[in-house]
Amino acid sequence: MKFFVDTADLAEIRDLADSGLVDGVTTNPSLIAKSGRNMLDVIAEICDVVPGPVSAEVTATEHADMMAEAEVLAAIAPNVAIKVPLTPDGLKTCKALRDRDIMVNVTLCFSSAQAVLAAKADASFISPFVGRLDDIGLRGLDLIEDIVEIFSQHDAFETEVLVASIRGPAHVVESAMAGAHVATLPPGVLRQLYQHPLTDKGLAAFLKDWKATGQSILEQANERKNAAE
């Protein structure tokens, strides 16, 4: 499973990219607005940091205007994925862009039927929102399981399932078990994946025992180096 980080915060992206765990980035107008910066500048900087797909969302709602905005965004870098909403105009734009071999992420998916339409439009990614479904009393992971199953039955569908609106580690693990291709995580959730109380407890015990020996790996290395000279 690939991990995308869901943020427009360059400091967070750089820090997480250094870990080698980030395969791409997703942004949206809300995340860009939080950054308080020029959208084109932000996308360009992110593309310089992360070589994988970087989703940049159009803000227009009609096909012609979406295409005009997509032209601008796609020109920023070859790894930009144009993000469009799952609407008739959004899918029309998706098909037109894919015919030109431009990556497209179809967002705001809340049903399997919508996912099938995105696959028919040759979307590079479909983004079902699990957390928002959970918020209204449904089980968002049911949608992921259904979409993965449907796509597996049709070889012509090459669209990757990109799980969005992830709220915690459980969403990530269950999405991976369901066979989703990508999870896009807020930075805080990605960092939560590291955490387990037994890891902390075990590390503390190892460090305590090592400190009691009074030894230092670097000091021993220097001593061996000096002796060899």
Average pLDDT, stretch 139-152? Answer: 98
Q: How far apart are CA 130 and CA 174, in angstroms?
A: 11
- Which one from 2, 83, 92, 95 is the annotated catalytic residue? 83
Same domain flag for 172 and 205: no
Nearest to 1 by CA among 133, 199, 193: 193
Q: Evaluate if residue 23 carries a pLDDT over 90.
A: yes
Nearest to 147 by CA among 182, 98, 114: 114
Predicted confidence at residue 229, as pLDDT, reads 80
Same domain flag for 74 and 46: yes
* Phi, psi of 26, rounded to the nearest 5 degrees: -120, 140
Type of residue at 206: F
Look at 144 and 227; give whichever has higher pLDDT: 144
Same domain flag for 164 and 203: no
Same domain flag for 131 and 41: yes
Type of residue at 131: G
Cα Rg of the chain, angstroms: 22
Same domain flag for 205 and 164: no
Nearest to 162 by CA among 177, 192, 183: 183
Q: Evaluate if residue 73 carries a pLDDT over 90.
A: yes
Query: Domain span at residue 220?
Result: 198-228
Same domain flag for 79 and 154: yes
Average pLDDT, stretch 218-226? Answer: 93
Same domain flag for 72 and 144: yes
What are the pLDDT digits (tens) for 158-202?
999 999 999 999 999 999 999 999 999 999 999 999 999 999 999
Is 92 noted as a catalytic residue in this protein? Answer: no
DSSP states along 72-101: HHHTT-TTEEEEEESSHHHHHHHHHHHTTT
Total of domains in the chain = 2
Same domain flag for 203 and 141: no
Same domain flag for 94 and 128: yes
Give the domain CATH number at 47. Answer: 3.20.20.70
Same domain flag for 222 and 128: no
**What's the pTM?**
0.93
